Amino acid sequence: MTNYQSQLSLAKEAAKVAGEIIRSYHSTSVGRSNNSAKVNVKSGVDLVTEADTRVEKVVTDMIKNAFPNDLIVGEEDQAERPKGGQGENFPAGSIWCVDPIDGTTNFVHNYPFVAVSIGFIHNSVPRVGVVYNPFTNCLYEAAEGSGTLMNGKPVRIDTDATSIKDCLLVNNIGHLRNDDFIEESSERIQKWLKAGLRGFRASGSAAQNLAHVASGQVSCYFEHGFGGPWDVAAGTVLVREAGGVVWDARGDCDDLKMTFGKGSVCAGSRQVVEDVLKIAGKPKFDLNL
C-alpha cells in the first residue's frame, strides 16, 4: 500500500495557513464579517469573497511548490487545472481538490460552519483528506489505510444509528433555485420526517458535514447538487477511513466517483445510508440543467 503521509503533512500545513487567513478577515462582533463588502455573486445565491480567492492562491502555491507535477482543481479557478464537463471523470494521475472556504455564505454571515477542504486523489480515488474549521479549531485528517483523526484523536462514524429513526441527518439544499429542484428537495425532507427521522439539520458546508459524519457528530449527510469535487474529495476519505460509506445518491449502492461538476452524495454507516436512500428514492432533478 502506498504511503501518503507526505501529502497528508502538506495538506495539514496548508489548511492551518488558510485558517489563519480566514480568521484575519473575520470580525469578533456578532453579525456580518468584515469582508462583507467584498462579496461577489457567482450565480443565483452562490457567493465568492476576496478571502476565497486569496486562500485558494496561497494553498495552491504551497501544493505547486511541494508537488510541481500534480494537477490542482480549485473552486475559484486560481489553480492550473484540467478542464472537464459536467459528470466527466477525473483523469488518471495525482490531483488535488481545494475548496478554500466551503460555506462561503456562512462565512459572510458570521455563521461558524466554515471549512478549508483539501483532498488528494490518485488514479481517480481519494487518498488523503483534510478538513479544517478555523472558528471551532477542529482539524479532521485521514490518509488511506491510516484511520481518521480529529485534533489528533481517532474518531469513528455513528454506529449506534441503525435506521432513520436513530438518525441525525444533515442535508444541504445548495444554491439552486429551480422550481422543480425546490419541490423535489422539500418532498424528500417530508418523506424522511414522516418515516420518523430523529433530527434534521442544514449546515451549509459539505466538507464540514462529511467531517461531522466521520467523527460521529451526525449520523448521515445527504445532498443532491453539491457544487463540485472540491466539496467532497477530502471528506470522502475522512468518512471511509472512519468506517463509513460515501455513495452516489443517484445509484444503487455505488461509491461516489470523483467527477467534474455537480454531484449527489449520501454518507454514513451502510445501514443508515441504505435506509435514508430507500425512503428518499432516487433524485430525479437533472443536475446538467
pLDDT tens digits, 104-123: 889 988 899 999 999 999 99
Q: Which of 31-45, 96-110, 127-141, 207-221 has the lowest mean pLDDT?
A: 31-45
Structural domain span for residue 195: 164-280
Evaluate whether residue 159 is within a structural domain.
Answer: no
Evaluate whether residue 287 is within a structural domain.
Answer: no
Report CA Rg, the chain: 18
Convert 147-185 to b/e letters by CB count within 10 Å (16 or more is b): ebbbeeeebebbeebebbebbbbbbbbbbbeeeebeebb
Specify whether 65 is located in the same domain as 191: no
Specify whether 10 is located in the same domain as 150: yes
Q: What is the pLDDT of residue 78?
A: 47
Q: Are 203 and 113 in contact (CB under 8 A)?
A: yes
Task: Check whether 45 has a pLDDT greater than 50.
Answer: no
Residue 70 marked in a binding site = no
Q: What is the pLDDT of residue 211?
A: 98
Specify whether 144 is located in the same domain as 26: yes
Q: Which of 115, 131, 154 is the last residue of a domain?
A: 154
The pTM of the full predicted model, rounded to 2 decimals, is: 0.92
Cα(5)–Cα(237) distance, integer angstroms: 14
Evaluate whether residue 143 is within a structural domain.
Answer: yes
Specify whether 99 is located in the same domain as 236: no
Specify whether 185 is located in the same domain as 135: no
DSSP string computed for 240-255: HHTT-EEE-TTSSSPB
Specify whether 9 is located in the same domain as 149: yes
Q: How confident is the model at residue 261 (pLDDT cuts 50, 70, 90)?
A: confident
Specify whether 149 is located in the same domain as 274: no
- The DSSP 8-state label assigned to residue 166 in this structure reads G
Task: Check whether 208 has a pLDDT greater than 70.
Answer: yes
Q: How confident is the model at residue 37 (pLDDT cuts 50, 70, 90)?
A: very low
* Domain of residue 126, CATH code: 3.30.540.10
Q: Which cell numbers hold the place of 168?
A: 441525525
Closest CA relative to residue 100, chosen from 266, 230, 232: 230
Evaluate whether residue 265 is within a structural domain.
Answer: yes
Mean pLDDT of 161-176: 92
Residue 252 marked in a binding site = no
- Total domains, the chain: 2
Residues known to be catalytic: 75, 99, 101-102, 104, 231
Q: Which of 8-22, 34-48, 55-69, 242-256 has the lowest mean pLDDT?
A: 34-48
Evaluate whether residue 190 is within a structural domain.
Answer: yes
Residue 231 marked in a binding site = yes
Specify whether 75 is located in the same domain as 208: no
Mean pLDDT of 244-250: 97
Q: Are 235 and 206 in contact (CB under 8 A)?
A: yes
Q: Which of 131, 154, 177 is the last residue of a domain?
A: 154
Q: Are 103 and 205 in contact (CB under 8 A)?
A: yes
Specify whether 28 is located in the same domain as 168: no
Residue 102 marked in a binding site = yes
Evaluate whether residue 285 is within a structural domain.
Answer: no
Residue 189 marked in a binding site = no
Q: What is the pLDDT of residue 122?
A: 95
Average of per-residue pLDDT values in the chain:
89
Q: What is the pLDDT of residue 39?
A: 56
Specify whether 129 is located in the same domain as 17: yes
